[in-house]
Amino acid sequence: MTIAIRSSEPTKEATLRFLAKTAKKLLIDGQWVDAASGATFTTCDPATGKVLAELSSADAADVDVAVSAARKAFESDAWRGMTPSARGKLLWRIADLIEANVDELAELETLDQGKSLKTGRFGEIPASAEQFRYYAGFATKILGTTIPTSIGYQPAGKKIFVYTTREPIGVVAAITPWNSPMLMAAMKLAPALAAGCTIVLKPAEETSLTTLRLGELMMEAGLPAGVVNILTGFGETVGAALTAHPGVDKVAFTGSTEVGKMIVGAARGNLKKLTLELGGKSPAIVMPDADFALAIPGIARGIFANGGQVCVAGSRVYAHHSVYARLVEGLAAEAAKLKLGHGLDPETDLGPLVNRKQADRVASYVSEGRGNGAQVVTGGGQMGDLQTFYQPTVVIDVRQDMRMMREEIFGPVVAVTPFHDVEEALSFANDSPYGLAASLWTSDLSSAHRISTQIRSGTVWINCHSYFSPELPKGGHKESGWGYENGAQGLENYLETKTVCALV
């Protein structure tokens, strides 16, 4: 099956200028430098296969230099001596620069990742700016406490005075995935900078362009040299070296559960602190009294947005048997309406998946499911000359034990299954190693709040799905991760407490 590719060229001068620059370099200690080995790799437009840029391929030698630069910056007066207010203003300036360059950043994200321009232009890029704004305010509100103590063995005439301080944890290795590159980078950089940490950031090898452009904007905003370093390259080289490096104090990772578990092993040497945002297999439970005007488009958006390449994608829908047929029909109609095309085409709802490998992977889940008795109601096809597109797909008759019901597909594929009562819906929903997010669709809000307590996941949405904002903590229960990003808890990831106990 083919797809007509129209509008595959960027229209913004700034995008063309950024792409036209020669090989993209690494950002280390405030300078753009080649990888020590001189090695490079290319990044391509997944819709057309066109090479967009040549990137530097860092390895362990570059990790050493970048970690030293981050350590030096962490201890420097330029950064440690910066007032909280100045740090907050710096974050705010980064947000302003992201907004001033939103059109370019959105085009770069679409070209590199495939997502529709509207997703980047009106969603993820402005949301990235908001991350910096939200955490800018925290820089001046990092507070310790004084603690009255009941210790009674101090010498006569002496008192004990205790207070705590909150200190930045140190050098952070931040590793991001390819699904929403700019936003994932912002979610780590903003709280880490607000806390006063320094960072070595490794974007996903498939989608590094907006992170590099963000690096330029951060330098333009006035970030001191070495505070943020960016190493492009591969997971098994740069990623592995960073997570094992003794000079790194903390790893903030978003990606697959499989790699998350490898990072737990790699971080053991110096017991790095870890935040892990991992995979999901998020259920949507549709009760008989659901408002279908909300549920159908909401569930469709929850699974098909960004081609299903979203960690919280609602890939399992459990519908009460009395509304099951209606839901399948509505969801299939919604899926069939979505337009596939190049992300830069203003009419496109869904672009290609990030690459052929990912599209093949999605296709393999669907064909295996078909082989085991699942029925495809709509979609089910890999498309395009490069076979990088995948149709929005609704599947029924998927058993709980099938791989497509248990594993994260990371594509626009949803399985819909009927249930008979709430207990059965909950047992299906909780029958997963993952516990990232869930949604519940009902008009009975009091039962919604009751049911939400019984769902094992980090987020429960009621009558909506995939609603995000920097204020809302986001994290996984079970094998979906450790810790929470966003909100006040997101800042905690980058701070440690010191108790000062004085005999006075």
Q: Which positions lie near ligand ADP, rule CB under 6 A?
A: 175-178, 202, 204-205, 234-236, 239-240, 243, 255-256, 259, 262-263
Q: Can you name the residues that pair with 173 across neighbouring β-strands? A: 200, 251
Question: Is 277 an active-site residue?
Answer: yes
The residue whose Cβ lies closest to ligand ADP is 235
Closest CA to 21 of 114, 95, 108, 115: 108
Distances in Å between the alpha carbon of 167 and those of 80, 246, 432? 10, 20, 37
DSSP assignment string, 75-119: HSHHHHTS-HHHHHHHHHHHHHHHHHTHHHHHHHHHHHH---HHH
Query: Which residue's CB is nearer to ligand ADP, number 204 or number 398?
Result: 204
Copy the structure tokens of residue 29. Answer: 């200690």
Rounded Cα–Cα distance for residues 310 and 254 (Å): 11
Residue 153 sits at φ, ψ, to 5 deg, of -110, 25
Copy the structure tokens of residue 181. Answer: 């590159």
Copy the structure tokens of residue 259. Answer: 């790699």
Copy the structure tokens of residue 236. Answer: 């098994």
Query: Which residue's CB is nearer to ligand ADP, number 25 or number 202?
Result: 202
Closest CA to 352 of 98, 31, 50: 50
In angstroms, what is the minimal distance from the CB of 411 to ligand ADP?
12
Rounded Cα–Cα distance for residues 475 and 311 (Å): 10
In angstroms, what is the minimal distance from the CB of 263 to ligand ADP?
6
Helix axes 181-195, 125-136, angle to 10 degrees: 10
Alpha-carbon Rg for the chain in angstroms: 24
Query: Which residue's CB is nearer to ligand ADP, number 236 or number 291?
Result: 236
109, 124, 205, 311: the catalytic one is 311
In angstroms, what is the minimal distance from the CB of 233 to ligand ADP?
8
Question: Is 197 an active-site residue?
Answer: no
Closest CA to 67 of 107, 26, 100, 102: 26
In angstroms, what is the minimal distance from the CB of 313 to ligand ADP?
12
Query: Which residue's CB is nearer to ligand ADP, number 58 or number 240?
Result: 240
Q: According to DSSP H, which parts of 372-465 are helical? A: 403-406, 422-430, 445-452
277, 334, 479, 485: the catalytic one is 277
In angstroms, what is the minimal distance from the CB of 345 to ligand ADP?
25
Closest CA to 147 of 162, 127, 159, 168: 162
Query: Which residue's CB is nearer to ligand ADP, number 279 or number 302?
Result: 279
Query: Which residue's CB is nearer to ligand ADP, number 177 or number 341?
Result: 177
In angstroms, what is the minimal distance from the CB of 248 to ligand ADP?
11
The residues carrying an active-site annotation are 277, 311
